[in-house]
Amino acid sequence: MRKRRTPVFNSGSRQALHNRAHLGVVGGLNENRLKVYKGFGLIFLIAVLMVLPQVASRFYVYITLQILMLSLFALGFNFLFGYVGLLSFGHAAFYATGAYATGLILKNASTSLIPGVLGGTLIATLLALIIGFFCVRHTDVYFSMLTLAFGMMIYSLAWKWREVTGGDDGLIGIPRAPLEIPGGLRVSMRAMPNYYYFVLAISVLAIFLLYTIVKSPFGLVLQGIRENPGRVEFAGIPIKRYRLLAFVISGFFAGLAGALLAPLENTVAPAVADWTKSSEPILASLLGGVYTFAGPIVGSALFILLKESIVRRTEYWLLVYGIILLAILIGLRGGIVGAVFQRKGKKK
């Protein structure tokens, strides 16, 4: 796993140059060499991940699974925050919906893994469409508080709707259904390594999909909306519609992460909808860097590993993370970050 410390909030000129140079006219040897390094790094990483269950203990496989799922969750969140500029405090709503929906499908409707996961993800995405419709009409403070409120509503629903969600007992006995590939192949997912490979494959695909979106024209326009919505509107773009689309995509990834959780743990409890769960992708993204694509992934790794080591010493990991967050925010508010986060000064 990459443990390099990507600076937080780095959108500084250096990074922009590297990431965007292939679009511009400034080409050159440097840029190509970097791409080669990146390519090799990625291949190496994937190789390590694939070999992992053979060489490491079950515990590390489990940790890596958690990192993969949080990465998807955080990537979803940060698509909205880092790329579109909308800060959601209630993303656990989609995570939880993905988890519960998948759990329900696998318990009651399907004996195959993919329909379960897919179904759960799609239901979460549908929820994102509904919630997003209300939220994207507002920005800044109102948006953030609305997402928080919706998140709490879903949490409350998870608690109260006993008949469906099992209340505070949660949904138990979710089978880790076998993977059925059309053509007759049936692969059992009981063994952890098998499920691990499934999640790895799905994650790689999903991350690749998101990467494509981010690097596409649509992705660029979204960033423009983040930078200056008025200006982009003056370029002819209906910004509310675009924000809603981004919200839905964001919900898709969060839902997928939750959907993958259900078969792994075999239970889903209301805690997956809690506001502390919503804070995890926020912390992970901030740790790894909100303005780079890989930031949330790196941050997720950091988050999980850090949490593991904290939880061994104290159960108050939120306190530690709160302090870390405070330190990050205060420490970096000047310099690049200050310039990056500054309010636009108005002339009159």
Partner 1 sequence: MTELLKVEALKKHFGEIYAVDGIDLTLQQGGFTSIIGPNGAGKTTFINLLTGRLFPDSGKIFFKGEDITRSPIHRRVKKGMGRSFQVTNILPRLTVFENIVIPVLSLRNKSLDPISKLGRLQSVRQSAEDILQAIGLLDKSALPAATLSHGDQRLLEIGIAMATHPTLLILDEPTAGMNPLERVHILKNIKRLALEQRTTFLIVEHDMDVVFSLSDRIIVMHRGKVLVDGRPEEIKGDQKVREVYLGEALPGMRCHGDPEAQGPGSRSRVPASSQPILEVQSIQTFYGHSHILQGISLDVHRGEVVCLLGRNGVGKTTTLRSIMGLTPPRSGSIRFQGQEIAGRKPYEIARLGIGYVPDDRRIFPELTVRQNLEMVRWVLPSEGPAGSSRPYWTLSKVYALFPKLKDLENQKGRHLSGGEQKMLAIGRALMANPDLLLLDEPSEGLSPLIVQILKEAIENIRSEGITLLLADQNLKFARTVADRAFILEKGRIQYGGSMEDLWKEEEIVKKYLAV
Partner 2 sequence: MKILLFQGLVGLSEAMYLWLVAAGLSLIFGVLRVLNFAHGSLYMLGAYLTFYFFGLLGGNFWLGLVVGPIFVAGIGLLMERFFLRLVYRLEVAYQLLLTFAFVLIFNDLVKLIWGPIYQALPMPSGLNDSIVLLSRAYPAYNLFIIILGPLIALGLWLLLEKTRWGRLIVASASDKEMASALGVNVPRLYTRVFMLGAWLAALGGALSIPIRPVSPGMGETIIIEAFIVAVIGGLGSLKGAFVGAILIGLLHAYGVLFLPVFEMALAFMLMAVVLILRPWGLFGTRET
**Binding site residues, partner 1, CB under 8 A:** 11, 13, 16-17, 20-26, 212-213, 215-221, 223-224, 227-228, 230-238, 242, 245, 291, 339-340, 344-347
> Is 329 near partner 2 (CB under 8 A)?
yes
Q: Give me 120's structure tokens.
A: 């759960």
- Member of 121, 144, 292, 300 binding partner 2 (CB under 8 A): 144
**Smallest distance from partner 2 to CB 49, Å:** 31
User: Smaller CB distance to partner 2: residue 50 or 336?
Assistant: 336
**Number of residues forming the site for partner 2 (CB under 8 A):** 38
**Smallest distance from partner 1 to CB 346, Å:** 6
**Smallest distance from partner 1 to CB 130, Å:** 21
Cα separation, 171 vs 48, whole angstroms:
34
Q: Under 8 Å CB-to-CB from 162, ≥6 apart: which residues?
A: none
> Is 288 near partner 2 (CB under 8 A)?
no
The site partner of 89 among partner 2, partner 1, none (C-beta below 5 to 8 Å per kind) is partner 2
Q: Are 135 and 250 in contact (CB under 8 A)?
A: no
**Smallest distance from partner 2 to CB 138, Å:** 7
> Is 27 near partner 2 (CB under 8 A)?
no
The site partner of 215 among partner 1, partner 2, none (C-beta below 5 to 8 Å per kind) is partner 1
Q: What are phi and psi of 23, to 5 degrees?
A: -85, -30
Cα separation, 113 vs 63, whole angstroms:
21
Nearest to 105 by CA among 77, 124, 91: 124
- Member of 268, 286, 298, 306 binding partner 2 (CB under 8 A): 286
Q: Give me 165's structure tokens.
A: 């969600």
Cα separation, 149 vs 15, whole angstroms:
35
Alpha carbon 144 to chain centroid, angstroms: 17
Reduced to 3 states (helix: H, G, I; strand: E, B; else coil), residue 8 is coil
> Is 141 near partner 2 (CB under 8 A)?
yes
Burial 135-144 (b: 16+ CB within 10 A, else e): bbeebeeebb
Neighbours of 13 (CB within 10 A): 9
Cα separation, 67 vs 302, whole angstroms:
9
Contact stretch for partner 2 (CB under 8 A) within 176-184, 193-201, 208-216, 340-348? 340-348
Contact stretch for partner 2 (CB under 8 A) within 92-100, 104-112, 264-272, 324-332? 324-332
Contacts to partner 2 by CB under 8 A: 81, 85, 87, 89, 134, 137-138, 140-142, 144-145, 148-149, 152-153, 156, 160, 275, 279, 282, 286, 316-319, 321-323, 325-326, 329-330, 333, 338, 341-343
